[in-house]
Amino acid sequence: MNKSELVQEVQKSLGDETSKAGAERAVDSVLEAIKKGVKKDKSVQLVGFGTFSVAKRAARKGINPRTKEQISIKASKTVKFKPGAALKSMA
């Protein structure tokens, strides 16, 4: 499912009184709130769905696939998602 399909599902769920633009604003608002929550609190937990959290990646050695030369990869942060029990049971 991509974003436009998600917007369609949200519009269908909200009923005929909601426009596609309104459903898209709702989806965008939720995604923006998750981004802000992860940035501010380092974690966003949606009970029954899952948890978005910040994870640290240590510096490491890698290999450039084109030149086969060894390179250093700097430490960085990433966002990881851990699905909740209800979401896991659906898969």
List pLDDT tens digits, range 18-76. Answer: 899 999 999 999 999 999 999 999 999 999 899 999 999 999 999 999 999 999 999 99
Other beta carbons within 10 angstroms of residue 15's beta carbon come to 7
Tell which residue, 2, 12, 84, has the closest CA to residue 48.
Answer: 84
Instruction: Find how far residue 53's CA is from the centre of its chain.
Output: 10
Determine the Cα–Cα distance for residues 73 and 51; give it in Å rounded to an integer: 27
Q: What is the pTM of this model?
A: 0.78
